[in-house]
Structure 1
């Protein structure tokens, strides 16, 4: 009995399929994952109050209107020392998004386009958590022309996006998901914040066949660091937004007790930079990994492909970001 129990537990952790079998052809996925040219329609899913990189990403998008037509922002749940529950994390992210929009002078442009997301993480890989954000994503995605997908820039736990995919599986052919989540395939584990917050949602994302560009954290996007002297030199005094970003970057370093010699990773700008017309990432196709609940990947070479980012050009991305923010 003890052996059977351990075997069942192992199979559940590693091999239980995260979503119903899909009929999306690998050729469709590969074609849909070609890097777009010109302006794209996009939505942003963000846990904006969690760290300070989301604020940079929101501003980066809205300072790049020639490339990204931002149609909606969704507040994502998170839970840690800044938020005792996922619901509190989502609400604080919603409020922080409003702060950034005000500093950017974009409250009018985005009026009625910022939505509260899920107030809890998925209980399993089959049951969605409905919210204003998930309903808007389903409606917005289904309205897209077949050959013109909606780009979903997701920089938090993937709860909202996974819920929308469970609510309406047909949107998998209507969207491309750019997700900052998990660690590099070569990393010794994948105990990364966005993934560990909602492993069930990550299993939905990688299991349902939706075209995904994955931006792993440790081992890849961890290259996107900046320091106090650097943000002060390039951003301080340029405009109210830049002053705010400088202040919260310094505060985050103090909050995490990093001492006088510190750097912070601006993780969340990586998916935004991928959409820009510059050579700043290296990618390859990989079979979709299967996130396990114990913090590791299982790999099946038979799985459908995802586009995997394995290198980022730190200087090019940070340079483009700071130049646009300091306008």
Structure 2
């Protein structure tokens, strides 16, 4: 049986696109992960079909719902801030940021800690501003940021500032430019690789118990909402937050690492006020993921949903009671 070999803190805007809910369920069902904390983070006001859904409290409530369906009511969930940083020196002292600091500063464990962020970086920036020593004690895995020059081009019609970065550009600037936090980045060109079809979601997710049905309803509901607002999503959906699971829970057995995905190492750039990278010669190195093992990621998700549907009250898939 698998046992936890890494610790994970999840920070995501679960009120936004429902790929975050799928990612959370996937992490919750992964036995190699000691899921220590889930943070519900904010969206930008007005950046959702239902403006009332942008709060961190709502994100936290949705996270609790999914965790309960996954049989993981043991995992603490906290709401983060509802606003971004006001300046680059003042943290927002939310309970979530304080809890992140506490987890990073633990001295009773030696397993690696990954902060898996699928939204803005308000909480990780605030946590570092509260206690800079956390930079030596965790790795940030972030879904966000635009394409890097020489690696990929923006997609047609791309937003001027990539969406997760846009939630709190200043926080992104702090984390990239001021903090010494190690970063594994999955920029827009990489997370857009994670396409699944609604046909396979209907057959391999919707029919897998209450958890699978809830996740599919969220994804299909977004498609319906989009059509009402004049957007046709077509046949596919981007599970853009699930690389957070691929790069942490699904590391190789020997010499643990996300060995089936590809990355380059670059100097960590700065981030300007308009959301663009700025050169920072001599800056600390960071990983930029360029190619993701989508087969491993998606097949593992579907398999774990199917196994959980068979024993919904049991421990995480492959785990010990």
Q: Same fold (TM over 0.5)?
A: yes
User: Would the alpha carbon gap of residues 310 and 260 (structure 1) be closer, same or farther in structure 2, given more than 3 Å must change?
Assistant: closer
For the structure 1 residues 157 and 260, does the alpha-carbon distance in structure 2 shift closer, same or farther, using more than 3 Å as the test? closer
What is the aligned length? 285
**Equivalence map 1:64-103=2 (5 Å):** 64-65=30-31, 67-79=32-44, 80-82=47-49, 84=51, 88-103=54-69
In structure 1, the residue corresponding to 2:133 is in which secondary structure? helix
- In 1: Cα distance, 2:71 partner to 2:109 partner: 33
SS in 2 for 1:171: helix
Q: Which residue of 1 aligns with 2:202?
A: 232
Alignment-derived partner of residue 95 in structure 2: 132
What's the offset of the Cα at 1:199?
0.8
Q: How does the TM-score come out when normalised to structure 1?
A: 0.82
Greater fraction helix: 1
Maintained 8 Å contact 1:190/1:297? no
Which residues of structure 2 form unaligned runs of 5+? 253-258, 308-321
CA gap of 1:243–1:84, structure 2 versus 1, over 3 A, is: closer
Asked if the contact 1:280–1:317 (Cα under 8 Å) also holds between the matched residues in 2, the reply is no
Shift, 1:59, TM fit: 0.7
Alignment of 1:168-187 (within 5 A): 168-186=131-149, 187=153
1:301 aligned to which of 270, 277, 281? 281
SS in 2 for 1:256: helix
Match of 2:117 in 1: 154
Go from structure 1 to structure 2 and tell me whether the alpha carbon gap of 1:299 and 1:272 turns closer, same or farther (over 3 Å shift). same
Q: Distance in 1 between matches of 2:233 and 2:261?
A: 31
Residues 318 and 190 (structure 1), Cα distance of their counterparts in 2 relative to 1, 3 Å cut: farther
Q: CA RMSD in A?
A: 2.1
Matched with 1:249 is 219
- Could you tell me which of 158, 163, 177 is aligned with 1:193? 163
Unaligned runs of 5+ in 1: 1-36
Distance 1:118 1:102, change over 3 A: same
* TM-score normalised by the chain length of structure 2: 0.83
